[in-house]
Amino acid sequence: MTENNENTNVQKSAPDRKPVIFSGVQPSGNLTIGNYLGAIKGWTDLQHENDCIFCVVDMHAITVRQDPSELRRHTYELLALYLAAGIDPEKCILFVQSHVPGHAQLSWVLGCYTMFGELSRMTQFKDKSKKNADNINAGLFTYPVLMAADILLYMTDLVPVGQDQKQHIEIARTIAGRFNGVYGDVFKIPEGFIPKTGAKIMSLSDPEKKMSKSDSDFGSVRILDSRDDIIRKFKKAVTDSDTVVRYAQGKSGINNLMNIYSCFTGKSLEQIEHEFSGQGYGAFKLAVGETVADALAPLQSEYHRIVSDKQYLEGIMKSGADSAGRIAARTLRKVYKKIGFVV
Ligand code: ATP
Ligand code: LTN
């Protein structure tokens, strides 16, 4: 293992240490406005006051079968999207998970402190096992252990994610607590950071179901969809038989559209009800579609500018992996010592 400055103790929270933020998205392509509102958009606000580390989690992506050339392309594209969304590589560490070997190394160790029963209870594992019944592989099962390694390697304080990742943060806390219980204060116990609005954007075609990048129908609005497609998808959004735009139980379609509109405009639900009083669903759906398309347009043009500059993206990946790798190696060395490996 590489030599490190042993005096730099990342485990102790120095009073002047900024909170560490870690998060990641899988480069599985077709990012949706759910990924944007639930995760990436919020990251940009956090980068000013914290030490932020944002990762392209390619190792998680291979828990479902990926075409190699697509995976490579999606990795560049996701990094370009982070940048286009406003994440500043001068302020944050941006890197690709497989470029820092510490993630796989710590994941193995933590797997020995994670119970079979705990992993069996993960709802994402159960859902993905149903969706990929012909490929229920061990990586899909131990996915949360790798995610715990991602987080714990950097002594992370806060993990900004959407609602669906709450259970994975919980298990990362359990694993860290169990490890600390045996070896002393090694890991920082991380907290999830779930946005108040936008944490669970629902499918436009089935508003009882989470909007997901792996669903290819009209239900998912992609960040890079054309203006026409975005508007068309919102026009087709499934709603109820009422006609009044108001947030209420049993109106999951309208509630979802109101949430999306609120996230992109900053308006409260009451303001939205007021704005559309006396207008039908048609006018509201069109307004939401146009607002989303307008809000995404600058991000899209920035994305197209950045994504073609492969050299620039590779420079960021490389320096991000160097910075992340230094922190990761330090944590891993400490863990290896604690458990009795010869370092
Ligand atoms: P897949 O459909 O391939 O499982 P996904 O859309 O869930 O993928 P991930 O890469 O697993 O995407 O998630 C990236 C981030 O986006 C996570 O923080 C996750 O909580 C968030 N996220 C995903 N879907 C939504 C959604 N519908 N609403 C809000 N946040 C979401
Ligand atoms: N499992 C996450 C992606 C992810 C992640 C992480 C998020 C992998 N490692 C560490 C936050 C912190 C998901 O969104 N599906």
pLDDT tens digits, 85-123: 999 999 999 999 999 999 999 999 999 999 999 999 999
Which residue of the set 91, 166, 200, 213 is catalytic? 213
Please indicate, yes or no, whether residues 159 and 85 belong to a single structural domain of this protein: yes
**Domain range for 291:** 227-305
DSSP 20: E
Please indicate, yes or no, whether residues 270 and 330 belong to a single structural domain of this protein: no
Residues 6+ apart with CB under 8 A from 166: 192, 194
CA 82 to CA 43: how far, in whole Å?
9
Residue 215 pLDDT level (bands cut at 50, 70, 90)? confident
In the prediction, which pLDDT does 8 show? 32
Pocket test for ligand 2, best of 150, 173, 191, 200 (most atoms within 8 A of CB): 150
CA 182 to CA 204: how far, in whole Å?
47
Please indicate, yes or no, whether residues 181 and 260 belong to a single structural domain of this protein: no
Any domain includes 213 = no
Write 95-98 long-range contacts (CB < 8 A, 24+): 95/53, 95/55, 95/56, 95/317, 95/320, 95/321, 95/323, 95/324, 96/55, 96/56, 96/58, 96/317, 96/320, 96/321, 97/24, 97/55, 97/56, 97/57, 97/58, 97/59, 97/60, 97/150, 98/58, 98/59
Please indicate, yes or no, whether residues 333 and 285 belong to a single structural domain of this protein: no
Q: Which ligand is nearest to the CA of 21?
A: 2
Quote the pTM value.
0.94
Give the side-chain half-sphere CA count within 13 A for 84.
24
Q: What mean pLDDT is predicted for residues 210-237?
A: 92
Q: How far is CA 8 from CA 176, 233, 282, in A?
A: 21, 52, 59
Which residue of the set 41, 210, 251, 285 is catalytic? 210
The proportion of the chain whose per-residue pLDDT surpasses 70, expressed as a percent, equals 95
Range list of H helices, the chain: 33-35, 41-46, 58-61, 68-84, 102-111, 116-120, 123-131, 138-152, 166-183, 227-235, 252-265, 269-275, 281-307, 310-339
235 in catalytic set: no
In the prediction, which pLDDT does 13 show? 53
Q: What mean pLDDT is predicted for residues 175-192?
A: 98
Is residue 20 within 6 Å of ligand 2 at its C-beta? no
| Residue 249, pLDDT above cutoff 50 | yes
Q: How far is CA 165 from CA 25, 81, 158, 218, 275, in A?
A: 11, 21, 13, 24, 33
Spacing, Cα 212 to ligand 1 middle (Å): 6
Residue of the CA atom closest to atom 9 of ligand 2? 147
Please indicate, yes or no, whether residues 153 and 299 belong to a single structural domain of this protein: no
For the domain that residue 170 is a member of, what is the CATH number? Answer: 3.40.50.620
Is residue 162 within 6 Å of ligand 1 at its C-beta? yes
In the prediction, which pLDDT does 16 show? 76
Spacing, Cα 277 to ligand 1 middle (Å): 33
Beta bridge partners of 159: 192
Is residue 34 within 6 Å of ligand 1 at its C-beta? yes
Beta bridge partners of 192: 159
Which residue of the set 41, 128, 233, 251 is catalytic? 128
Any domain includes 242 = yes
210 in catalytic set: yes
Any domain includes 191 = yes
- Burial (CB count within 10 angstroms: exposed 0-12, middle 13-18, buried 19+), residue 245: buried
Give the side-chain half-sphere CA count within 13 A for 99.
21
Please indicate, yes or no, whether residues 253 and 192 belong to a single structural domain of this protein: no
Place of tokens 């999951």: 252
Pocket test for ligand 1, best of 164, 166, 169, 292 (most atoms within 8 A of CB): 164
Any domain includes 207 = no
236 in catalytic set: no
Is residue 167 within 6 Å of ligand 1 at its C-beta? no
Our count of domains for the chain comes to 2
57-76 pLDDT, tens per residue?
Answer: 999 999 999 999 999 999 99
CA 159 to CA 35: how far, in whole Å?
14
Residue 213 pLDDT level (bands cut at 50, 70, 90)? confident
End-to-end CA separation in angstroms for the chain: 7
Any domain includes 257 = yes
Q: What mean pLDDT is predicted for residues 301-328?
A: 98
Structure tokens at 217: 């129908």
Q: Which ligand is nearest to the CA of 39?
A: 1
Q: Which atom of ligand 1 is nearest to the CA of 162?
A: 20
28-44 pLDDT, tens per residue?
Answer: 999 999 999 999 999 99
256-290 pLDDT, tens per residue?
Answer: 999 999 999 999 999 999 999 999 999 999 999 99
Please indicate, yes or no, whether residues 177 and 68 belong to a single structural domain of this protein: yes
As a whole number, the mean pLDDT across the chain is: 94
DSSP 185: S
Please indicate, yes or no, whether residues 25 and 132 belong to a single structural domain of this protein: yes
In the prediction, which pLDDT does 214 show? 75
Please indicate, yes or no, whether residues 98 and 165 belong to a single structural domain of this protein: yes
- What's at 108, amino acid-wise? W
- What's at 115, amino acid-wise? M
